[in-house]
Amino acid sequence: MNASNFVYSIKQGFKNIYHNRLFSLASMGTIAACLFLFGVFYFMLANFQYMIKEAETSVGVTVFFEEGTSEARMHEIGKMIAKRPEVADVEFTSAEEAWEKVKEQLFEGREELAESFGDDNPLADSASYGVYLRDVSKQSQLVAYIEGIQDVREVKSSDTTAEGLTTFNKLVGYISLAIVVILIGVAIFLISTTISMGISVRKDEIAIMKLIGATDFFIRAPFIVEGIIIGVIGAVIPLVILWFLYRKIVGYISAKFLLLSGVLNFLDAKTVFATLIPVAFGMGIGIGLIGSFITVRKHLRV
């Protein structure tokens, strides 16, 4: 396509939108509504997943060692575990540290009872590693690996918590996919209707263009441009609204529910929109392009 044809296609795309402005506005509104709902859903999904990931990092397994295992061997095992890809962090608790924690919890205000043990440490063989995972769904694999290491006596894990978080993650993923497919389908349908109207209005003109030798691509290009323009405008509107809405809602919840600040950890707006902006534009342009392409291919028989 040369420069003059390109400019012609752009101009005709805008003219098509103007001539069918009611349908075009309806298409833009539908895409905007779809992407707005997608954005709201993405906010919830992204923050849910972020909170789940934060919760996953607090879910771990505890590794205990056989009696008489040297501290050097314990540290060697710790390095082996830390190299695993599913492991986020490894924390070592010596027998002395374990005893100090017990004394703080059980003998608070009754220190004389703790002093009765003297230099004896009843938890002499309780040194352990706390292992925290990047992905809680890999917990069973990690436990099986650690249990196979020599000098490991026991591995304690919370299977119920791990399974619950894994199931919830999968459920959110399935729901997300279903909603996105429905929203995209509705938007494509309405854009198809708009392009169909444009084709019917210009049918005689298109027939004349074909008679004087215009190529199919030359005729189709304005309709493709029309769909892309509708998609771009339909993406810009909800992004602007969502930007202000997200910051307001997060600020309100953070200020209103200070007691839950340790649980309600929200992603900042820049992090969310760094993903949402390209995705929204991609979806808007993609919906417009696909909707117009399918319709032109189906109805442009001249």
Tell me: do 50 and 78 sit in the same domain.
no
For residue 220, how many other CB atoms are within 10 A of its CB?
A: 18
> Of all helices (H) and strands (E), which one includes residue 69?
none
- Cα–Cα distance between 297 and 101 in angstroms, integer? 73
- Cα–Cα distance between 260 and 254 in angstroms, integer? 8
pLDDT value at residue 119: 54
Tell me: do 85 and 230 sit in the same domain.
no
Tell me: do 239 and 258 sit in the same domain.
yes
pLDDT digits (tens, 9 = 90+) for 38-84: 888 888 877 877 776 666 666 678 888 887 788 888 888 888 888 88
- Cα–Cα distance between 283 and 184 in angstroms, integer? 8
- Which of 139, 157, 175 is the last residue before a domain boundary? 157
pLDDT value at residue 241: 92
Helix (H, G, I), strand (E, B) or coil at 84: coil
Tell me: do 177 and 291 sit in the same domain.
yes
For residue 5, give both structure tokens. 């044809």
- The DSSP letter of residue 266 is P
Tell me: do 50 and 182 sit in the same domain.
yes
End-to-end CA distance of the chain: 21
- Which of 157, 180, 209 is the last residue before a domain boundary? 157
Tell me: do 145 and 214 sit in the same domain.
no
pLDDT value at residue 300: 58
Tell me: do 152 and 50 sit in the same domain.
no
Tell me: do 71 and 41 sit in the same domain.
no
Residue 203 clears pLDDT 70, i.e. is over it: no
- Cα–Cα distance between 168 and 42 in angstroms, integer? 16
Of the pLDDT bands very low, low, confident and very high (cuts 50, 70, 90), residue 98 is low
Q: Please name the amino acid found at residue 15.
A: K
pLDDT digits (tens, 9 = 90+) for 243-299: 999 888 888 777 776 655 555 677 888 888 888 899 888 888 887 777 677 666 665
Residue appearing with tokens 């009843």: 122
pLDDT value at residue 111: 54
pLDDT higher at 189 or 106? 189
For residue 166, give both structure tokens. 């894994």
pLDDT value at residue 152: 86
- What pTM value is reported for the model? 0.60
C-beta contacts of 258-263 below 8 A and 24+ residues apart: 263/51
Tell me: do 207 and 268 sit in the same domain.
yes
For residue 114, give both structure tokens. 């703790």
Partners of 222 in the β-ladder: none
- Which of 157, 189, 208 is the last residue before a domain boundary? 157
- Cα–Cα distance between 112 and 103 in angstroms, integer? 11
| CATH of residue 137 | 3.30.70.3040
- Cα–Cα distance between 169 and 155 in angstroms, integer? 25
Residue appearing with tokens 């309780």: 126
pLDDT higher at 143 or 165? 143
Q: Work out the mean pLDDT of the chain and round it to a whole number.
A: 75
pLDDT digits (tens, 9 = 90+) for 103-153: 565 556 555 555 555 555 555 667 788 888 777 777 788 888 888 888 888
For residue 151, how many other CB atoms are within 10 A of its CB?
A: 14
pLDDT value at residue 198: 59
Tell me: do 69 and 27 sit in the same domain.
no
Cβ distance 63 to 128 under 8 Å? yes
Tell me: do 39 and 183 sit in the same domain.
yes
230, 208, 231, 232: which is closest to 219 by C-alpha? 208
Residue 254 lies in domain: 3-55+163-299
Structural domains of the chain, count: 2
Tell me: do 173 and 146 sit in the same domain.
no
